[in-house]
A and B are shown apart, each in its own frame.
Chain A
Amino acid sequence: EDKVVQSPLSLVVHEGDTVTLNCSYEVTNFRSLLWYKQEKKAPTFLFMLTSSGIEKKSGRLSSILDKKELFSILNITATQTGDSAVYLCAVGGANKLSFGAGTTVTVRA
């Protein structure tokens, strides 16, 4: 059975801090890893990663994949209160996307 584990489950930081979120997986026939941000509504797409070692960046967010060790990290630098959300990791396997339970990030002013 495919498995996606995110850590930590939740964290609280102050504005300006850097946050690192982890996603480890065991998936048959890995195809892709996706990160989503969910703020009390629908998940919104952040990144799709398919190759090891290639960092994807969007503003203060970046992510990288390690297909050998089967994990990905999502970094958020210079956090702002608007970064408060649940961050979901999803891994594409043979025939579906499997989602982790998410990491809840709270950024305090």
Chain B
Amino acid sequence: DAGITQSPRYKITETGRQVTLMCHQTWSHSYMFWYRQDLGHGLRLIYYSAAADITDKGEVPDGYVVSRSKTENFPLTLESATRSQTSVYFCASSGDRGLTDTQYFGPGTRLTVL
């Protein structure tokens, strides 16, 4: 019972490089989310997806791209990484009751942009 997994768990990259963070869930949840967590800001929503091929912006979408071709996967791409994108990234999923349903979080990816 894997639940929700993220890869890689740790990543160091350089400014300007493209980075993709992977998220996979085995619950067949409709909704999937990407958050970033920074000291003093708590969790902030980057993008979310209500179903395959349906995505929408959250609070802080600039500099990020998402896709959802399959229900179980929701990759997050930083097209040209910047130092300000150094953060811990959490993927989450929830059932059919929408954006305000209980969300279950993956283990996180710690990304450092040098």
Contact = CB atoms under 8 A, between A and B. Distances in A.
Interface residues of B, number: 20
A105 interface: no
A101 B59 CA distance: 15
Interface stretch (A13-21, A37-45, A58-66, A71-79): A37-45
A92 B100 contact: yes
A31 B105 contact: no
Contact of B102 (A42, A45, A93): A45
Name B's interface SS. loop
Given A31-B100, A32-B100, A45-B102, A100 B42 contact: yes
A97 B100 contact: yes
A32 B101 CA distance: 8
Given A41-B108, A42-B90, A101 B40 contact: yes
B77 to A, nearest CB: 21
Interface in A75-103: 88, 90, 92-93, 95-97, 99-102
Interface size on A, as a range, is 20 to 34
B103 A97 contact: yes
Contacts of B101: 32, 92
Nearest to B45: A96
Given A42-B106, A43-B105, A95 B42 contact: no
Contacts of B65: none
B104 interface: yes
Nearest to A93: B100
B75 interface: no
A18 B85 CA distance: 38
Contacts of A31: 100
A48 B41 CA distance: 22
Minimum-distance CB pairs A-B, first 7? A92-B100, A42-B105, A99-B43, A101-B42, A31-B100, A99-B42, A43-B105
Given A48-B102, A96-B59, 7 more contacts: A34-B103, A43-B105, A45-B102, A45-B104, A92-B100, A100-B42, A101-B42
